[in-house]
Amino acid sequence: MDTVEANVMDTLLDNPQPSLTRSSRALACMLGGAIGDALGAPVEFFSLDEIRRRYGDSGISRFEKAYGRLGAITDDTQMTLFTAEGLILSNVRREYAGEDLAVTAIYHAYLRWLYTQDTRSQAQLIHQHGTCSVIDGILTGHRDLFVQRAPGHACLSALRSGKMGTVELAINDSKGCGGVMRVAPVGLAYADAEKAFRLGCASAAITHGHPTGHLCAGLMAALISRLAGGATLPDAIADATGILMDYDSREECLKAVAAAVELSHQQDPSPERIETLGAGWVAEEALAMGIYAALVAGADFRRGVLLAVNHSGDSDSTGAIAGNIIGARYGMDRIPAEWIAALEMSALIQEIATDLMDQFGLNE
């Protein structure tokens, strides 16, 4: 085992946590990701200097206005909800029967997301894919989702192509973070972390063809799977990384996670320190930044998500990833109630998370 692999496998201190149900962790994971997304939304395209000029030396510390309101979610949470919808329908509809077709259900859910975003092409989408695939879901009845919140170019262009990208047949060469920031529901739905890893890769490959783009999503899904089952974060990182070791083209993802773990051992977390991991626009950087923020924050949800969004980069995506991880690890009690209350579509997010657990028989 080389130095990078040894660093990733090292265990870290993690406070013991009273027993939580998987459904409670799932709810906190989904809400936590959405809150991290909403905290990062106003500063997604700002430099750290600009963030501090606008919000003070400590940076952004609460919901600020984005898209005309406080607590606004972005495309990150929209696509996370559609990932969950695809998984739910994979258990409900006969045409998706069988594990291998779960990714098809997710693809059709992403087409429904595209239907909400690309309103000028709705008729073409229906003609190309059929009404059942494009309209007949859970979420297309919610008009609040028919708003554009800086949707990613790779996601839009891949879905507009009319082809479903796969791990074997890449749709493009993108390794943007769009596959990682939406994959948490896969980890919540599958208690088997290896299965979660495989489907996480497949769901990301629908729109992101670079191996790093989908391997980082697979690792994130496996990480959430283990956390939702009660593992500590260091153990979940070690387990997910162990699964990654069976895959080719793992080097970028592995090194990024190792860097996050190593950095977490250093004192005085800061925006400048998290920026040494990157800006978060690509998959491995976003994953590393989210993991780092979660490691140094421990059970302090507020500290973790604020660290994850105060930097010169893709603040909403790194905030979403950190929020998913901390929520899945520590549950609802660690998330500030005022943030849940002010979050856009909070009730819908909770409904979808509960439905996901119900459908997969994990709502104990």
Annotated binding site for Mg(2+): 74-76, 314, 316-317
Binding-site annotation, residues = 74-76, 314, 316-317
From CA 357, how far away is CA 189, in angstroms rounded?
7
CA distances from 38 to 51, 164, 269, 320, 343 (A): 15, 29, 22, 8, 7
Q: Beta partners for 176?
A: 282
Long-range contact set of residues 248-253: C-beta below 8 Å, sequence gap at least 24:
248/211, 249/211, 249/212, 249/215, 250/215, 252/175, 252/212, 252/284, 253/212, 253/215, 253/216, 253/219, 253/283, 253/284, 253/287
Total count of residues recorded for the chain? 364
Strand stretches in the chain, DSSP E = none
Q: Which residue has the tokens 């709810």?
A: 27
Q: Which residue has the tokens 């783009």?
A: 213
Closest CA to 231 of 325, 160, 141, 300: 325
**Cβ distance 206 to 243 under 8 Å?**
no
From CA 115, how far away is CA 140, in angstroms rounded?
8
Could you give the count of Cα atoms lying within 13 Å of 295 in the half-sphere of its Cβ?
Answer: 29
Q: Give the three-state DSSP class for 7.
A: helix
CA distances from 19 to 33, 196, 355 (A): 21, 22, 22
Q: Which residues contact 14 (CB under 8 A, 6 or more apart)?
A: 232, 233, 234, 235, 298
